[in-house]
Amino acid sequence: MFSKIFNIWQILKGNLAFVPGIYCLISCGLVFATYAIEFQYLQSIDLPGYIFQGTTDDAKSVIVTLLSAMITMATLAISITMVVLSLAASQLGPRLIKTFMSNQRTKDYFGMFFATVVACFVLTIILHSRNTSSFTPQITISLVFMMCFINLFVLLGFVHHVAQSCIADNVIKQVADDLKDALCRLTTNGTTDNEEAQKDTSDWPEDFEEKSKKLIFEQSGYVQLIDYEQLLDIATDNDLYIRINFKAGHFLIQQEESVFVRYPSKPSEVISDVIINRIKEAFIIGDTRTQTQDIEYSIRHLVEIAVRALSPGINDSFTAISVLDKLSEAMAILFEKRTRSDKIIDDKGTKRIEAISSDEADIIFTAFDQIRYNAQTMPSVMRHLLKILKVLSEMAEKKSARSALRVQAEGVKQSLNSLKAYVPDHKQLEQQTEDLIKALS
């Protein structure tokens, strides 16, 4: 249940209209509440001189002008955002737009702009109502005026924020922070290999493939969430065995045969449709990927930034090096953790679920392989990658991690052959690569 709620939160987090909508509701309620309190209890109170002292007609003319100005300011903010994002997305990748939209400060700024527009609009309605013929809501008018004044400084802060958001280093840092949060959330403490930590489960049916029932999904899309706890409860309560041939982030094709279920001693035909539907409800399939259970989600974002920076049209090795630094920081965290096991057992020690999970080798391959391939003609990036692999080799203790690092080191060795004409010290780099491969072996 918690995973499903978190997945919904991740979708809402990437929606630019959710937080500004809350700001608008709060602004509307604040103006109406201030007016109601002032109308009921504060009419006979002498107000200080810095509170609005004009008539209702004066306030009407001013607030209509402010409403137009605030709408223009909000439109200007949107225009600035789209221009800057179009320029930055062409260099760093279109996924920068989603990262920018999910940024909390961006949504706060937009929320303040639209909240002020709503406040001006609500005050305009109040001033043109019948209740204001003999009463001028001075406190309410002053409140809206103050919100408009604050918005001038909010606009300056927004321009500064947009300018900072399109800088490559800041974007890389934001995506890297999301990656570190995902690693801390989706892994557990411990450095033991999953194969060693997993209890021997010899009770898995040997004829599972022959007698299992195939589950067919009626829609295509990305697997956003697999509720393993719900699946384990269903399997335990109904004495089932479940095999899942995909993981979160996989694109599931309609009618793809990827989930298999069977009873231990009964024919597969007796599995009721009710149980099948409950199992299907444990899978959330959507149009886009989310980082709810996908560790490699943010890694792909970083890799895309680096690959685009290494393209011949941009040729920015410094951005690629920054991405490598952040990826190495994430790998150091990964080496101290243990990823999800692909075997899930119940309270009695019976293996109920077989699933595919991302291990250290998969994550390391996703992090470095495409960058290494696209940096074959850039000596500075290859030299930095070799340095990072050497540092990570000293941290990695698990067999799967060291094996994946060795594969990347062997790829670096092959790439150095094309750099002999550009690197004076290529023999030294080749020797360092050979030493690294031997150390990882």
Same structural domain, 323 and 426: yes
Count of other CB atoms within 10 angstroms of residue 63: 22
32: in domain = yes
Start-to-end Cα distance in the chain: 43
The band of 266, judged by pLDDT with boundaries at 50, 70 and 90, is low
Mean pLDDT of the chain: 86
Same domain? For 82 and 224 the reply is no
Q: Is residue 343 part of a domain?
A: no
Flag whether 347 is in a domain: no
Cβ within 8 Å of residue 167, ≥6 positions away: none
Residues 206 and 78 in one domain: no
Assign residue 387 the CATH number of its domain.
1.25.40
Q: For the chain, give the percent of residues with pLDDT over 70.
A: 93
* In a shared domain, residues 58 and 98: yes
Is position 345 within any domain?
no
Residues 261 and 275 in one domain: yes
Dist CA 91 CA 4 (whole Å): 34
Residues 251 and 306 in one domain: no
Give 209-247 pLDDT, tens digit per residue: 777 888 888 889 999 999 999 999 999 988 889 999 999
Question: Domain check: are 408 and 263 in the same one?
Answer: no
Residue 211 sits in the same domain as residue 189: no
204: in domain: yes
The length of the chain, given as a count of residues: 441
pLDDT of residue 167: 84
In a domain, 365, yes or no: yes
pLDDT digits (tens, 9 = 90+) for 116-148: 999 999 999 988 875 555 678 889 999 999 999
Range of the domain at 242: 199-286
Helix axes 317-335 and 168-186, enclosed angle (nearest 10): 20
Helix axis angle for 379-395 and 426-440, nearest 10°, is 30
**Segment 359-389, tens digit of pLDDT:** 899 999 999 999 999 998 888 899 999 999 9
Residues 243 and 315 in one domain: no
Angstrom distances, CA of residue 174 to CA of 100, 235, 237, 395, 397: 9, 39, 43, 25, 28
The tally of domains found in the chain comes to 3
270, 303: one domain? no
Asked if 323 and 239 sit in the same domain, the reply is: no
Domain assignment present for 148: yes
Residue 57 lies in a domain: yes
Q: What is the CATH number of the domain that holds 256?
A: 3.90.1170.30
Within this chain, do residues 189 and 258 fall inside the same structural domain, yes or no? no
